[in-house]
Amino acid sequence: MGKSTGFLEYERTESEHRPARERIRDYEEFVVAPQVEALRIQGARCMDCGVPYCHAGFVVEGLSIGCPLCNLIPEINDLVYRGEYEEAYKRLSKTHPFPEFTSRVCPALCEGSCTLGEHALPVTIKEIERFVSDEMLRRGLIRPRPPLLRTGKRAAVVGSGPSGLACAELLNRLGNSVTVFERADRPGGLLMYGIPNMKLDKALVLSRVALLEEEGVQFVLSTEVGGDYPAPALMKDFDAVVLCAGATQERLIDAPGSELAGVETAVRFLSAATKGLLDGKRDAGAPNAAGKDVIVVGGGDTGTDCVATSIRQGAGSVAQLEILPKPPEKRTDGNPWPLWPKVHKTDYGQQEAIALFGTDPREYLTTVKEITGANGRVNGVKTVQVEWVNRNGKQAPREIAGTERLRPAQLVLTAMGFTGPERMLIERLDLKTDSRGNVATEGDSHKSSLLSVFAAGDVRRGPGLVVWGIAEGRRVARRCDEYLNAK
């Protein structure tokens, strides 16, 4: 540890954000690159504690403790403090293939379990990771590393999201020939079309894909396995198949009027916005918030992205409904360190809404009772407040009489999460599923009910974070490689 008293001498400081009223005029990233010296000081705050929970990488009672990738965080922080940025990136690369992604979109599970965070503000691990990866990109030091030898084995990866890219990267590095199938016109899965450009610049995704191609990975785009590419042919053409297709089945509103035009899923809305940005033109049939009263149903990260994108498209007003109560400002007794802190935060989308409209768009303990319309199009949403009560041993929402309210709305965006993977490919391969509809696998082997088919990421464990997808992709790559090259 370079500065044994750094955590006592320095306060936590974070990178600045571009002013809200400035950044809502474009789709460029909103975080301002930090000063090098400021990041070195933040690295000095790392305590080099005896038990660094920041990289523990396991789950307790459904909550994460530390980074699922088990990054060597204390070592990386110390190297940044010493100014050894290239060596810091080498340490980071031992466990993490895409730090430029997670350092932008991950909620920083590592920081939630930082030992310093038990009594003070945690180390800015996420920003240090971003600085290290961006610095190496700026210097041109992230270069292709193709395998020296090929095994002669061929593997297909279905899906090019976080788990698919991570699986392809490691399987290829181990010497196998890898082909990635993606049904969209661009690679990246939700990294490309589910996360707005202001959070994750798509140039970073495309540059990483180009690097993988230089290393020998092949990408087949605009091709849906099970449809455009028959599932039996996949089994015949490859020695092994890894399903990394995600959990893309969105949860829909269960209320009268949900079939009206103008009621859109978050992914379709965000995908259309990003595609229009990349293509340089907007599809005339794509959902657009310009001049409309927008209601976003869902209070998570995807809902925040919908708020921010609606503002950039010129929405007249934006409201964000959340059926759950407002989280506490600080940890409760039932949410102790080092578990992930379930506390209230105001994210970039809400900050922009406050700057533009003067109020936080979120309304808690509120749900949709009915969607109204005229001539087949939505024109309003009837909401009602709820309270959570014990019902047969479980907490459930109960409407509060007299709290109904009719709100104007010409665009309703459902951002209520995902229910699981789509069924077509699973059924075409006749794979066994678990009780939640995910592909069933044999423990940590990632093996499905078919001998040569593996599964990883959201398609196996259910909807999750990007960092968990990457961790799953690396693990399944090792299991698949063992299968391919077993004597």
- At 268-293, the pLDDT tens digits run 999 999 999 999 998 888 999 999 99
For residue 218, what pLDDT band results from cuts at 50, 70 and 90?
A: very high
Q: Is 71 inside a domain boundary?
A: yes
pLDDT (0 to 100) of residue 282: 87
Provide long-range contacts, Cβ within 8 A and 24+ apart, for 273-277: 273/196, 273/309, 273/312, 273/313, 274/192, 274/193, 274/196, 274/197, 274/202, 275/185, 275/193, 277/27, 277/197, 277/202
CA geometry: angle at 203 spanning 200 and 209, to 5°?
A: 105
Q: Is 146 inside a domain boundary?
A: no
pLDDT (0 to 100) of residue 1: 62
144, two tokens = 């292709």
Domain end marker among 416, 446, 463: 416
Q: Is 145 inside a domain boundary?
A: no
How do residues 135-152 score in pLDDT, each as one tens digit?
999 999 999 999 999 999
Q: Is 147 inside a domain boundary?
A: no
Co-location of 287 and 406 in the same domain: yes
Co-location of 402 and 456 in the same domain: no
Co-location of 399 and 426 in the same domain: no
Q: Are 228 and 336 in contact (CB under 8 A)?
A: no
For residue 2, what pLDDT band results from cuts at 50, 70 and 90?
A: low
Residue 487 has pLDDT above 70, yes or no: no
| Residues spanned by the domain of 168 | 154-248+419-484
- The domain that holds 66 is classified in CATH as 1.10.1060.10
249-250 and 317-321 strand pairing: unpaired
- The domain that holds 215 is classified in CATH as 3.50.50.60
How do residues 97-128 score in pLDDT, each as one tens digit?
999 999 999 999 999 999 999 889 999 999 99
Co-location of 260 and 275 in the same domain: yes
Co-location of 272 and 129 in the same domain: no
Co-location of 312 and 394 in the same domain: yes
pLDDT (0 to 100) of residue 443: 84
For residue 310, CA distances in Å to 286, 349, 380 come to 13, 10, 17
Co-location of 159 and 130 in the same domain: no
To which residue do tokens 């080099």 refer?
48
Q: Are 338 and 56 in contact (CB under 8 A)?
A: yes
Co-location of 51 and 128 in the same domain: yes
Co-location of 258 and 405 in the same domain: yes
Number of domains comprising the chain: 3
Mean pLDDT of 327-349: 93
Co-location of 354 and 207 in the same domain: no
Task: Tell whether pTM > 0.85.
Answer: yes
Q: Is 1 inside a domain boundary?
A: no
Co-location of 225 and 282 in the same domain: no
How do residues 27-56 score in pLDDT, each as one tens digit?
999 999 888 999 999 999 998 788 899 999
Q: Which amino acid is at 134?
A: D
Q: Are 123 and 77 in contact (CB under 8 A)?
A: yes
Q: Are 157 and 456 in contact (CB under 8 A)?
A: no
Q: Is 144 inside a domain boundary?
A: no
For residue 15, what pLDDT band results from cuts at 50, 70 and 90?
A: very high
Domain end marker among 75, 107, 139: 139
Q: Is 102 inside a domain boundary?
A: yes
Domain end marker among 360, 394, 416: 416
Q: Is 354 inside a domain boundary?
A: yes
Co-location of 165 and 270 in the same domain: no
Of the candidates 215, 97, 20, the one whose C-alpha atom is nearest the C-alpha of residue 470 is: 97
To which residue do tokens 């070195």 refer?
40
